[in-house]
Amino acid sequence: MTTNKTVLSWIDEIKDLVKPDSVVWIDGSDKQRDELRAIAVSTGELEKLNEEKLPGCYLHRTKQNDVARVEDRTFICSREKENAGPTNNWYDPKEMYKMLYDIARDSYKGKTMYIIPFSMGPIGSPLAKIGIEITDSIYVVLNMLIMTRVDLKVMDVLGDSNDWVRCFHSRCDIDPEKRYICQFPEDNTIISVNSGYGGNVLLGKKCFALRIASYQGWKEGWMAEHMLILGIENPQGEIKYVAAAFPSACGKTNLAMMIPPKYLRDKGYKVWTVGDDIAWMRIGKDGRLYAINPENGFFGVAPGTNEKSNYNALASTKKNTIFTNVAHDLSDNTVWWEGLTKDLPTNAIDWKGNKWDASKFNKADKSTYAAHPNSRFTAPAVNCPCISEEFNKGEGVPISAIIFGGRRAKCAPLVYQSKSWENGVFIGSAMASETTAAAAGAVGVVRRDPMAMLPFCGYHMGDYFAHWLEMGKKLGDKAPKIFNVNWFRTDDKGNFIWPGFGDNMRVINWIIARCEGKADAVETPIGYVPRPEDIDLTDLDFDIETLKSILEVDKDIWTKEAQEIEEHYKKFGDKLPAELRNQLETLKANLK
Ligand code: GTP
Ligand code: SPV
Ligand code: MN
């Protein structure tokens, strides 16, 4: 397959450790994929779904203790503890290697070792990077075939180079007490043991494309971000691209594939998806910031996805898709999750594998749900009706605006614009959001999640902020404008006030108009906020007074917010860039 000595010696090392019965290279062919699907069905690892309604689609259930990322068991094993920073778990790399090797020793006995050569980004693109994942799980292989570009050609592109990421996964006993997701940034190495769930084991995704890549980006002068990439085409046929960072399960996939309101579609507005989760961005020859989506598919949240909320995501799941921890509708051998249809299935198996009792369903009690709240679909990007023509091109798309956002019941207005790049970095660094089911632990707790990267930054977050500021200096007046959005303001009863989803296009249009210098705004202590009449409410049953209420910047709430940001900043000590400290002081002064 390859004569690259660094690759061959690493494979030998892992093989000697785990002692597989056999070794199989994954070549990316349909033939091999079909054989693996058949094996997984024969062992029960996958269930084949209705071939007429969902061709090439399969259902998988993970262990009940293994349904989300595990942030408390995720480590950045940099040589110096200081380099992991205050927001990451750290462990000494030498000791961690030893512990992980002890856990994984002999763990492939009686099993096959799969070797997956993959590219993050179009193969051969100057912005792409290469990885090799070793796994004992066919589920991982089949997901990687969707989420990354798997091809033996990758080994030709790599040649003799040592610039590739070592990704080693072993299911071991799926023992939550021995579960570790470890990144070794200085060694380009990832090791994941005792899990079989998505983000913990599809190592090209969060582990490589964010934790390792963010470190590489810092060293090499580019950025790896937890961002969707979206193209908005106006009636004149011009396309503007925006990138948006929201924490997990806060609306990236939805925004990336939204369908504009009818009156805008009638005018000729269109939306093109470049990416729904991760962006790699570099400064191009013309001095602007260019982004690629390093992934090849969508690992999307299933609950809440339906024809109306996200038609394009649902359409993406109609063939060659793997569903994880959703409900199995036995009436026609398809899948179901909360929010897919109004009618509840009467003959279904829940995500735990038990017969589901629809009569016991209680919206307020997640333990009665048929699908796990973090159940997911793994769908090929090519299936997406609005996939951008630029998706498979390696040069990337020029970014006009960067948008931060999160779930804030109160506080953050629907949208506001930063006063400068530095002010935008401040807004990103101070972002907070209510936690979701995407990670194990409590849900609905407000936490600071800078740039939506808290669980994904592979180095000291103070250095990360400094890197953002540095990129801004290099970009100068060609830097994207920075905004913040909040679709999640609630009323006294806890209902979302803003309709969201496709109607978010109304906000995106204001953002683009601001980038073009064509829209008005008022200056507030936190930044530029649209006047209510600046957001187009055509055809929407939403009164201007309500809009006014969610655009409001409440000085008392923001004074408290500024105090919390001050607390949050203490963590970073000397590593907090002085510019950000100044930004906080300016905010406090503005609020007086
Ligand atoms: P990850 O894949 O975990 O990174 O999540 P994501 O950021 O891609 O989130 P996604 O788009 O899958 O949305 C997560 C949840 O938020 C789903 O239940 C959506 O229905 C809901 N959601 C998305 N957009 C909106 C919105 O504009 N308004 C409201 N109220 N809910 C939304
Ligand atoms: C997220 O949690 O942000 C995801 C899902 O996109 S996972 O791949 O599990 O990280
Ligand atoms: Mn994500």
Measured from the Cα of 256, ligand 1's closest atom is: 11
| Burial of 230 from C-beta contacts in 10 A (0-12 / 13-18 / 19+) | buried
Query: Do residues 512 and 242 lie in contact, with contact meaning Cβ atoms separated by under 8 Å?
Result: yes
pLDDT for position 71: 97
| HEC readout, 509-576 | HHHHHHHCCCCCCEECCCCEECCHHHCCCCCCCCCHHHHHHHHCCCHHHHHHHHHHHHHHHHCCHHHC
Measured in whole angstroms, how far is the alpha carbon of residue 295 from the centre of its chain? 10
Ligand 2 contacts CB of residue 136 (under 6 A)? no
Which residue numbers are catalytic?
Answer: 250
Ligand 2 in contact with 438 (CB < 6 A)?
yes
Note residues around ion ligand 3 (Cβ under 5 angstroms). 248, 277
The yes/no answer on whether domain 5-46+70-220 falls in CATH 3.40.449.10 is: yes
Atom of ligand 2 nearest to the CA of 277: 6
The Cα 34–Cα 142 span in angstroms is 10
Name the segment(s) of the chain with CATH classification 2.170.8.10.
298-383
Residue with tokens 């699907």: 37
Q: For the segment 398-454, what is each residue's pLDDT rounded down to a tens digit?
A: 999 999 999 999 899 999 999 999 999 999 999 999 999 999 999 999 999 999 999
The two beta strands, 189-193 and 180-184, are antiparallel
Name the pTM for this structure: 0.98
- Options 1.20.1440.130, 2.170.8.10, 3.40.225.10, 2.70.170.10; which CATH number does 298-383 get? 2.170.8.10
Mean pLDDT (whole number) for 356-361: 96
- SS3 assignment, position 224: strand
State the Cα–Cα distance between residues 203 and 200, nearest whole angstrom. Answer: 7
Could you count the other beta carbons within 10 Å of the beta carbon of residue 361? 13
pLDDT at 523 over 90: yes
Nearest to 301 by CA among 313, 293, 311, 312: 313
HSE-up of residue 570 (Cα within 13 Å, Cβ side): 5
pLDDT digits (tens, 9 = 90+) for 206-239: 999 999 999 999 999 999 999 999 999 999 999 9
CA 209/CA 224 separation, integer angstroms: 7
pLDDT at 1 over 90: no
Structure tokens at 51: 């071939």
CATH 3.40.449.10 placement within the chain: 5-46+70-220
Ligand 3 center from residue 355 Cα (angstroms): 30
Which class is 225-296+389-591 in CATH? alpha beta
Residue 194 has pLDDT above 90, yes or no: yes
* Model pLDDT for residues 83-140, shown as the tens digit of each residue: 999 999 999 999 999 999 999 999 999 999 999 999 999 999 999 999 999 999 999 9
Write out the H or E segment, with its range, that includes residue 116: strand 112-120
The residues with which 528 forms a beta bridge, in sequence order, are: 417, 523
Ligand 1, atom 15, residue with closest C-alpha: 249
Give residue 436 CA to ligand 1 midpoint distance, Å. Answer: 10
Q: What percent of the chain has pLDDT over 70?
A: 100
Closest atom of ligand 2 to CA, residue 248: 3
State phi, psi for 566 to the nearest 5 degrees: -60, -45
CA dist., res. 192 & res. 205, Å (int): 13
Residues of the chain with CATH 3.90.228.20: 225-296+389-591
Which residue lies with its CA nearest to atom 11 of ligand 1? 251
Q: Which residue's C-alpha comes closest to atom 29 of ligand 1?
A: 500
Report d(CA 127, CA 205) in Å as an integer. 16
50-60: pLDDT as tens digits: 999 999 999 99
Q: What is the Cβ-side half-sphere exposure of residue 41, based on CA atoms within 13 angstroms?
A: 13
